[in-house]
Amino acid sequence: MNSINETNLKLGIIGYPLSHTLSPQIHEYWFKLHRISGTYEILEVDDVGLDRIFCDNIHQYRGLNVTIPYKVRVFDYVDEVSDSARVVGAINCITVEDKKLIGSNTDADGFMNGLLAFNGDLDFTNMNVLVIGAGGAARAVIHSFLMKSTGQITVINRSSDRLASLEKVFNNQIHCMDWKKLNDSISQFNLIINCTSQGMKGENDFSLDFTSIQKGLSVIDLVYNPLETKLLIDAKRHGCKILNGIPMLLSQAALSWKLWLDIKPDITDDIIRFVEDKI
């Protein structure tokens, strides 16, 4: 790896659209904190622009994050894929080495690190988890629980075809449930995670019927804008412990730094407040 005393350290994020991304602010905060002179560029590109980055410009960068809609497309450009990126089926972090590009997924470990920071005493073997959603984020969350040998993982998704393809990936390790059973089954679970984009700013709210929950239920929403979705507000009103998507957002970014620079920034209250203030 090159020295990070260099003056032209370049990182960035590829996606479309990127108008609401908080990644530059997060990475610039850490550049300052770690006294590194670097830039984190927003690469908002169409398909042609994506190709151009990889064919012409990629070796300018030490590392790139990848977001919607390119987390799958970039498999075509990398030379090596990490185990978690292969299982999750998505690359959100590319490390640029002299001779090769390595595609990784830091969402799975980022989710788990955020969860453990929220509650380090979790008893994974007796956990009965409901994952709502079957997209890339849901896959990362499921993979992170499987790595911990979590008790029972149930997955539910609006569209049955996407749920069926997720079931194939995780084989006999998860239980899939019909979308219509969502509210009737809620009493079974002690941890519920919304991995859908419902509840994000500009989207419809996501609601659950919390009247029959078990005591001690925790509810996590991967959405971080707004900081408290209707789902989290309702859950809190019913006595649940709640967590938004900020710890995962920061942890996956910190894990990208570990891969690119061999530095793992701490997720402090200061950076959490800094990011929350940007929303």
| Beta carbon nearer to ligand NAP, 138 or 213 | 138
| Token duo for residue 66 | 């990848």
Of 193, 200, 242, 261, the one binding ligand NAP (CB under 6 A) is: 200
| Token duo for residue 143 | 């993979």
Of 150, 154, 157, 218, the one binding ligand NAP (CB under 6 A) is: 157
| Interaction between residue 159 and ligand NAP (CB under 6 A) | yes
Strands 9-15, 93-96: pairing kind:
unpaired
| Beta carbon nearer to ligand NAP, 134 or 240 | 134
Q: Is 240 exposed, middle or buried (0-12, 13-18, 19+ CB in 10 A)?
A: buried
Q: How crowded is the C-beta side of 1, counted as CA atoms within 13 Å?
A: 14
Residue from 138, 212, 162, 225 nearest 182 by CA: 212
Please list the active-site residues. Answer: 71
Q: What share of the chain is helix, strand, coil (3-state, %, to 5)?
A: 45, 20, 40
Of 82, 196, 218, 256, the one binding ligand NAP (CB under 6 A) is: 196
| Interaction between residue 87 and ligand NAP (CB under 6 A) | no
| Beta carbon nearer to ligand NAP, 102 or 134 | 134
| Interaction between residue 107 and ligand NAP (CB under 6 A) | yes
| Interaction between residue 21 and ligand NAP (CB under 6 A) | no
Q: How far apart are CA 74 and CA 270, in angstroms?
A: 33
Per the omega criterion (within 30 degrees of 0), is the bond before 247 cis?
no
| Beta carbon nearer to ligand NAP, 222 or 232 | 222
Q: How far apart are CA 204 and CA 143, in angstroms?
A: 27
| Token duo for residue 248 | 């995962």
| Interaction between residue 258 and ligand NAP (CB under 6 A) | no
| Interaction between residue 113 and ligand NAP (CB under 6 A) | no
List, in sequence order, the alpha helices (H) in the chain. Answer: 23-33, 47-52, 83-88, 107-118, 136-147, 160-170, 230-237, 246-261, 269-278
Site for ligand NAP, residues 211 to 240, rule: CB under 6 A: 222-224
- Considering only 19-27, 74-82, 143-151, 196-204, which stretch makes contact with ligand NAP by CB under 6 A? 196-204
| Interaction between residue 85 and ligand NAP (CB under 6 A) | no
| Interaction between residue 103 and ligand NAP (CB under 6 A) | no
The Cα-based distances of 138 to 16, 34, 56, 135 in angstroms read: 20, 32, 33, 5
Query: In the complex, what is the shortest distance from the CB of residue 8 to ligand NAP, in angstroms, rounded to a whole number?
Result: 28
Number of residues near ligand NAP (by CB under 6 A): 25
Q: How far apart are CA 152 and CA 172, in angstroms?
A: 11
| Interaction between residue 34 and ligand NAP (CB under 6 A) | no
Of 198, 218, 229, 256, the one binding ligand NAP (CB under 6 A) is: 198
Residues that bind ligand NAP (CB under 6 A): 68, 107, 133-138, 157-159, 162, 195-198, 200, 204, 222-224, 245, 248-249, 252
